[in-house]
A and B are shown apart, each in its own frame.
Chain A
Amino acid sequence: MITVKDLHKSYNDLHLFKGISLNIKKGEVVAFIGPSGSGKSTFLRCINGLEYFQKGEVVVDGIELHSINRIDPTKEDLEAIRKIRLKVGMVFQQFNLFPHMTVLENIIEAPVRVLGIDKNTASENALALLRRINLENKVNCHPEDLSGGEQQRVAIVRALAMKPEVMLFDEPTSSLDPEMVGEVLSVIKDLVDEGMTTLIVTHLMHFAREISDRVVVFDKGDIIETGLPDEIFTNPKIGRTKLFLSRVLNK
């Protein structure tokens, strides 16, 4: 489903990725863990073209995204990014709901404007999705009237309204108060149970272990270890993984 080959990325002088590769199968759930600044989020953002990279290749469901020069991307690059974004939904740490729109307007904006679905159909779909997360009574609220957990659930539903084949979660619970983490995780879990191909960057180790088929450990811009969750968490092979896990799990 997703293939990343020999990815190189640098910011000015800082060389972050020096050629990393990863394959993800359809329906697979992959958790990305590792210290802050190790490149997990950037890796995710390279997949849907929010970050440019200097060298390498990203293939999503047969669509090839070559290294993109952000200053002057070619037409093919832009077209590939657009197609990939239609297949890949993304949920951000900061929710990024549109503050000037109601919950309903947030959800139907892209289906109506991008996919050309008529407004009534899109609204019905949106309501069905909201019902699934028990927020149908908030349909006409503005984001500022919602709690953090509610906002993030709406953000997830907003991405789902585009019927993506892959979902990217970039630290979806990091901005939430602890009592709201659970409701967001349960929505993600439902999604995974339905078979959605899911890539999730998270600091919640127990959740990563419980939900994923595979864990990818990042450190200093490199993938240092991948493996089954039980293997990684009980018997990591690499010293740096061990060090990282001991730090976070003993906290």
Chain B
Amino acid sequence: MFKKIFNKVIFILSLFFIVNLSSNASFCAEISPLDKIKERGSIMWGADAEGGAPYIFPDPKDPEKFIGFEVDLAEAIARELGVKAKHVQNAWDSLIPALERGDCDIAMNGIEITPQRKEHILFSRPYYVYVEQLVVRKEETAIKGIDDLKGKKVGTLSGTVAQNILEGMGGVDVKIYPGQVEPYEDLAIGRIDGVLLDLPIAAYYGKPNPKLKYAGNPMGEGLYGIAIRKEDENLKNKIDEIIDKLLRTGELKKIYEKWDLWNAAQEKLFENIQGERGYVDLEKSKSAPVYTFFPYLIKGAGVTILISVTSMALAIILGLFLTLLRLYGRKPFNNLAVAYIEIYRGTPLLIQLFILYYGLPNIGISMSPFLAAFIGLGMNYAAYEAELYRAGIMAVPKGQMEAGLSLGMSQGLTVQRIILPQAFRIALPGITNDFIALFKDSSLVSIIAMVELTKTYNILAASTLRFFELGLITAVLYFGMSYPLSLLARRLENKLKRKK
């Protein structure tokens, strides 16, 4: 396992140094996806748990577990295949790219079957018929249906059919949101005039809000399908078979009934809910005691620590290598080090992560979210560490090098034994500072499907709407991790100062 990661790291590093990005590398073996799933013993299905109710969201009783009607469906499909269902977290708008790069076998998360999508991927036979529901504020009288939206601000999700409808109408001021919670929040406080989204979303987030109401009847029927890679035809056939079977046996109906999503007149079914059948609504998520979220948050914090520590280790080692190359290397390697440092410092970390995770698969190099986070953060911070070391080395008096040389020590030995230990002491406060900064920057890796502390917070807050208290707890967790680090660093500095 470690050796494998190590090999990959070496490979990626050499790739960056050689700069020559040849594109024949491929890590995927060519076996049928169905065999691969069976061999693995699990089907990996991509979905976004952030703001995913009632599709997929954390169970308020046990937030480490995800529930939702698509979770039930995924489990039914997996059972029929004789394997386990394994959820793969991904932001909703990158589900299809994630599928294409092979992060998951299927993507199922309220993905509407559209001709544009069909150009890139296969869809299973539809597993749900959705409608679009307009939601407005309770006191709203001017907007009675979708036809009254001209000149109004209307929120929706990016990449949805609702967005196409709104934009196709013309004259509507469409506000695009990345998640399904925020538009309803903004609507309630008056930032926008209406929200048009799929009914399951409206039923979970819009309807229970006392400040909001439905406007008009549902419209714009459409179909959800399971997204499958174009080349995985036999997987698609198998899943079609399974959906067919679930329909015939009535199991699919049961799942939808459990979540109150069955039937064309779905809206009526939403009226007398309350969890008799294990259904979880927003009120329940909202009122769950806060400690139930702790284990899940702490798990996220653990991932944050793991990413921070490993990538800082990479930054410290790679940074040292870059500095030595820059100061003592021969041409053109010293210039290469300068170029590396300038490029990494001069471009946003976010872009670097995107290229690493979503860009490299285009040329045949695909890596796990953790590996991408480790390399992305580590290589970025290496540039900063290199500059810190360089400043430290420059601050060591010239006479130290001359003393070493005049004693017959080689330049390399003098650097190692005399210059670096002194430079390190000078650079230490900066390194500590960078470690704390990296620690917080690690939240950026949530964009490459890494579920660390910040992402965990987003997922929990989105399904419970408890942004405030969960936010405070998350902040306290971050502080609780970074403050001991500061104390430790201060002690180390004092110890070194005394020794000098």
* Residues in chain A within 8 A of chain B (CB atoms): 48-50, 82, 85-86, 88-90, 92, 94, 96-100, 109-110, 113-115, 142, 144, 155, 158-159, 162
**A92-B399, A99-B500 are contacts. A114–B406 as well, Cβ < 8 Å?**
no
* Contact of B410 with A by CB under 8 A: yes
B83 → A minimal CB distance (Å): 59
Residues on B with beta carbons closer than 8 Å to the beta carbon of A94: 397, 399
Any A CB within 8 A of the CB of B413: yes
B402 engages A162 (CB within 8 Å): no
Judge whether A92 and B403 touch: CB under 8 Å. yes
Whole-angstrom distance between the alpha carbons of A83 and B187 in the complex? 81
Q: Select which of B408, B410, B418, B425 is within 8 A of A98 by beta carbon.
A: B418
CB-nearest residue of chain B to A97: B403
Known: A96-B399, A96-B400, A114-B413. A85 touches B500 (CB 8 A): no
Which residue of A92, A99, A142 has the most chain B CB atoms within 10 A of its CB atom?
Answer: A99
26 residue pairs from A and B, CB less than 8 Å apart: A49-B405, A50-B402, A50-B405, A85-B405, A85-B407, A85-B408, A86-B408, A88-B406, A89-B406, A89-B407, A92-B403, A94-B397, A96-B402, A96-B403, A98-B418, A98-B422, A100-B421, A100-B500, A110-B404, A113-B409, A113-B417, A114-B407, A114-B413, A142-B499, A142-B500, A162-B407
Q: By the criterion CB–CB under 8 Å, are B500 and A110 in contact?
A: no
CB neighbours of B425 from chain A (8 A): 100
The CA of A89 and the CA of B403, in the complex, are separated in Å by 10
Residue of B nearest to A94 (CB): B399
Residue contact A82 to B410, C-beta cutoff 8 Å: yes
Number of A-B pairs whose CB atoms are under 8 Å?
63
Interface size on B, as a range, is: 20 to 34
**Can you name 5 extra interface pairs (CB under 8 A) apart from A50-B402, A96-B403, A142-B499?**
A96-B397, A96-B400, A99-B500, A144-B500, A158-B407
Chain B residues within 8 Å of A90, by CB? 406
A110 partner residues in chain B, CB cutoff 8 A: 404, 407-409
Nearest-Cβ distance from residue A155 to partner chain B, whole angstroms? 8
Chain A hits for B413, CB < 8 A: 113-114
Interface bits B393-429 vs A (CB < 8 Å: 1, else 0): 0000101101111111110010001100110010000
Within the complex, the shortest CB–CB distance from A23 to chain B, in Å, comes to 22
CA distance A239 to B418 in the complex (A): 46
Taking a contact as CB atoms under 8 Å apart, the answer to whether B400 and A98 are in contact is yes
> Which residues of B lie under 8 Å from residue A92 when comparing CB positions?
399, 402-403, 406
Q: How far is the CA of A48 from the CA of B406 in the complex (A)?
A: 7
**Nearest 9 interchain pairs by C-beta:** A96-B403, A110-B407, A96-B399, A90-B406, A86-B408, A85-B408, A114-B408, A100-B421, A94-B399
How far is it, in angstroms, between the C-alpha of A11 and the C-alpha of B29 when the chains are bound? 63
CA distance A97 to B410 in the complex (A): 17
B412 to chain A, nearest CB (A): 11
Q: Separation in Å of the B51 CB from the closest CB of chain A?
A: 54
Query: Known contacts A92-B399, A98-B400, A100-B425; is A109 also within 8 Å of B407 by CB?
Result: yes
The chain A residue sitting closest to B407, CB to CB, is A110
In the complex, A155 Cα to B406 Cα: how many Å?
A: 12
CA distance A82 to B404 in the complex (A): 12
Bound-complex Cα distance A215 to B408 (A) = 28
| CB proximity of A153 to chain B, nearest CB, Å | 15
What's the least CB distance linking B329 to chain A, in Å? Answer: 13
